Structure 1
Amino acid sequence: MIQSLADKAFAHGKREGDHSTSIPGLTVHIRNKPTEPLHCIYTLSLSMILQGSKQLSVEDELISCAAGQSMLTTFDLPVVSHVTEATRHKSFIALVLKLDYALIMQTCAELEIEKPSKDLKYQPISSHDIDAGLCGAMSRLLGLQQDPEYLDSLSPLIKKEIIIRLLQSPHGMHLRHMASAGAPSNQILNTVTWMKQNFTQSVGIDELAQQAHMSASTFRQHFKSLTGSSPLQYLKHLRLQEARDQMLLNGLDASQASGFVGYESASQFSREYSRLFGLPPQKDIQRLKLS
């Protein structure tokens, strides 16, 4: 079943790269060779590795995901990601589905899902084997591209089925933890959402803690446990990632990008960019365009 889904995904993409589908939020990722480690931000999503393998680094933790495994990200995280196994004859193939937070909350309420134990060690990224039910649901979702007349009516139903299956899978307890109203993770999630929308603003730890209705020390502790970085470091990563996207996708130069994301000093921007991505802005963008 995994191989059948891999073949279906490859038939859609056909070549190396990231390919959008007609299903909102669903993309196909194909690589013909191992890649260099790339700094990026993973959002609330389900990834299915159908062929090849990849590895993530979140702070000091390494997470490997091979063919036949799924990876659930329940919190926006800065990670270093790279494909570790891929060839032209056996490409790395993955499907990534962005998940809807509101639909997760609605589904938990409808199913009267129990809150997870307080003893649960929450993991913002979890990796487990793909079961047949989840694989079948994803295959049907991707297959809607062949039946466009049913896409608008059936894709929401299949996405909801996928969330229900995730809640009942080994991923489920982490998804339930994220959805628990009033839990620290929910308050941190709201703060992160605000940070993503207001990353150009100059903000201090006390103001962020106040938004989360926590003391500064408690906020810092919960934020670190969920994201693996301090709040201000996370904000810096958001700014630098956005600057990188603006240079790569919209043609801004380093000076324009630094000002766009709120840096007052171009030299500070260049230093911090080089520290995060390994190269100065111009050389990094050249490398990305050639890769």
Structure 2
Amino acid sequence: MAKKIAWFIGPSEKRITEVPGLVLVRRTAPTAPCTGTYTPSVIVVAQGSKRVELGQTTFIYDQARFLLTSIDLPIVSQVIDASEAKPLLALALGLEMTAVRELLSREEVHVREVPHDTAAMVTGEITVELLSACCRLIDLLANPQDIPVLSGLIQREIIYRLLCGPEGARLRAIATSGDQSHRTARAISWIRDNYAKPVRVDDLAEIAGMGVSTLHHHFRVLTHMSPLQYQKQLRLQAARGRMLLDGLDASTVAFEVGYESVSQFNREYSRFFGQPPMRDIKALREGKVDEMSAA
């Protein structure tokens, strides 16, 4: 698999491929911690290793373990094992919940019960079957005419392999209507889509169809943070992206992402990213800080 990724990505650090949802990643050195948001996806590393921090919890994934994310999660990631001679080589595949639900509707698919304290991000052992399916998905890049017909079938197989493993239980819980995790995910989605708006936990509980204390508990289980902490990270990451990509100043972007005070924005930005907004953006543009990454 490492040889396949190296062949199709070449000298690039990232390739968004012709296969829907498939991204190839290559890094030739360890990186500084960088912020980002992981969407529902599976990341399989063929060579090297990465670290991801979700709240106060750390996940390590490498050639032996994949990373599965079942909802949008703001994280801090870092490449910890990579070199010119042996670069990090990985694939990230976005997961469509419609495909997950379709497979779950089949009586042949048996998924284990999910522990109540399992986060929406987990690592799992890479099996021969999962690795085989991932290799065949990459192979489609050599025959683009096969992608429209075969990519969906292979992606369904990958989802099937994930669902049948111990980690698939959380994916099922997020996708299944009526489950507490699914209802909590509705509140999480609302914050993601409306992060610049004020958040009232009572309103989130109503969106989720559950009590305030129950929502708080399940929200922390899934995301390892409170609703307000989740919102704050989304706001700060959005602000960083707007300043870096669109050239906005800190005062403008602070109000755009929902802050009522520029001084509060500057304090929270400095605490989260390690330095004030303008200094951080300058360092990003000069390549002194690793930029935000999606995989």
Asked if Structure 1 and Structure 2 have the same fold, meaning a TM-score greater than 0.5 normalized by the shorter chain, the answer is yes
1:28 and 2:24 matched: yes
SS in 2 for 1:221: helix
Cα deviation per residue 1:205-228 (whole Å; 9 max; x = unaligned)?
111111111222221111111111
- Match of residue 256, structure 1, among 252, 256, 265: 252
Distance in 2 (CA, whole Å) between partners of 1:251 and 1:11 is: 36
Q: In the alignment, is residue 104 of structure 1 matched against residue 100 of structure 2?
A: yes
Instruction: Kindly report which structure 2 residues correspond to 1:61-100, keeping only aligned pairs within 5 A, or say none.
Output: 61-100=57-96
Superposed CA deviations along residues 239-288 of structure 1, whole A, max 9, x for unmatched, are: 11111122223332322322321223222111111111112122222333
**Residues 249, 121 of structure 1: CA spacing in aligned structure 2 closer, same or farther, 3 A cutoff?**
same
Take 1:263 and 1:282, find their aligned partners in 2: how far apart are those partners?
17
Q: Are the equivalent residues in 1 in contact too, given 2:45–2:61 (CA < 8 A)?
A: yes
Q: Within 2, Cα distance between the matches of 1:118 and 1:16?
A: 39
Q: Percent identity?
A: 38
Counterpart-to-counterpart distance in 1, 2:280 and 2:47: 28
Q: CA shift at 1:109, angstroms? A: 0.9
Among 177, 181, 186, the alignment partner of 2:177 is 181
Match of residue 126 from structure 2: 130
Unaligned runs of 5+ in 1: none
- 2:248 corresponds to 1:245: no
* 1:277 and 2:273 matched: yes
2:42 aligned residue: 46
Root-mean-square deviation over aligned CA pairs: 1.8
Deviation of the 1:116 alpha carbon: 4.2
3-state SS of 1:97 partner: strand
Which residue among 188, 203, 209 is the counterpart of 1:192?
Answer: 188
Q: How many residues align?
A: 287
Q: How many Å separate the matches in 1 of 2:259 and 2:94?
A: 30
One-letter amino acid of the counterpart of residue 213, structure 1? G
Partner of 1:164: 160
* Aligned counterparts of 2:38 and 2:156: Cα–Cα separation in 1: 21
- Structure 1-normalised TM-score? 0.92
- Letter paired with 2:172: R
Question: Aligned match of 1:218 in 207, 214, 219?
Answer: 214
C-alpha distance in structure 2 between counterparts of 1:33 and 1:271, whole Å: 31
Q: Which has the higher contact order (CA 8 A, sep 6+)?
A: 2
Q: Which range moves more in the overlay, 265-274 or 110-119?
A: 110-119
- Unaligned 5+ segments in structure 2 are 291-295
Letter aligned with residue 110 of structure 1: R
Q: 2:224 maps to which residue?
A: 228
